[in-house]
Amino acid sequence: MALRRRKSKRSQVIDLLETYLKLQAAKKATKGVRKAAKGTAVYQVAKRTPAVRRIPIIAGAAIAAAVVAVKLRSSGDDPAPAGA
């Protein structure tokens, strides 16, 4: 059975703060993506099309925003390999 070292209060607070900052950065990134998407021609056309036709366009934009947010959030977790 492996012994588990307990984290100090300071270490716990730092971890919590890091997580919070990563989530806030992802939130701001998705907000920026959303604003940028609203300026595109695809969005402008989708606004003028009937609701049933624009569902795939909106879903695609939402998926793209989610992918960007996940990549931004997880980019700081892995250090680059030394040999690469």
pLDDT, tens digit (0-9, with 9 covering 90-100), for 50-76: 666 667 777 777 787 788 777 777 765
Q: What is the C-alpha separation between 83 and 33, in angstroms, rounded? A: 34
In a domain, 48, yes or no: yes
Q: Determine which of 4-8, 15-19, 69-73, 75-79 has the lowest per-residue pLDDT on average.
A: 75-79
Record the pTM: 0.41
Band of residue 41 on the pLDDT scale cut at 50, 70, 90: confident
Buried b (16+ CB within 10 A) or exposed e, 49-70: eeeeebeebeeebeeebeeebe
In a domain, 11, yes or no: no
36's enclosing H/E stretch is helix 9-38
User: Tell me, what's the pLDDT at 39?
Assistant: 72
Range(s) of the domain holding residue 70: 19-74
In a domain, 3, yes or no: no
In a domain, 10, yes or no: no
Q: What is the C-alpha separation between 33 and 69, in angstroms, rounded? A: 9
User: Tell me, what's the pLDDT at 66?
Assistant: 80
- What total number of domains does the chain contain? 1
